[in-house]
Amino acid sequence: MWSQLAAWSLATGIPVTREHRFHPERKWRFDFALVDHKIAIEYEGIMAGKSRHTTISGYTGDTEKYNAAAELGWTVLRFTVKNSREVITVLEKTIKG
């Protein structure tokens, strides 16, 4: 996903930041962020097997992070391996509103 975003950033001149810390108190980070637009991109690394995202505590932690982001005015776009190729299309639609 980073290669797609980096190429798009170069073509558009809109900076994309990796591992952006967005919360003033918590250590939460977005996988990628368009800071000037307050758009976050999260790659949900859900695997067929066991992962943090498949436990109730992991999922609850994610919801707390996303809710805090919304309270701070962020739009969070979420992708998995199955739809990650759509990141640029969804991102451009989000920017245009």
Angle in degrees, CA 7, 10, 16, rounded to 5: 85
User: Are the C-beta atoms of residues 34 and 53 closer than 8 Å to each other?
Assistant: no
* 35-39, 42-46, 69-73, 93-97: segment of lowest average pLDDT: 42-46
Predicted confidence (pLDDT) per residue in 35-68, tens digit: 999 999 999 876 555 666 668 888 899 999 999 9
Place domain 2-96 in its CATH homologous superfamily. Answer: VSR Endonuclease (3.40.960.10)
Average pLDDT over residues 60-80: 96
Q: Where are the chain's structural domains?
A: 2-96
pLDDT value, residue 47: 59
Of residues 5 and 54, which shows the higher confidence score? 5
Predicted confidence (pLDDT) per residue in 17-37, tens digit: 999 999 999 999 999 999 999
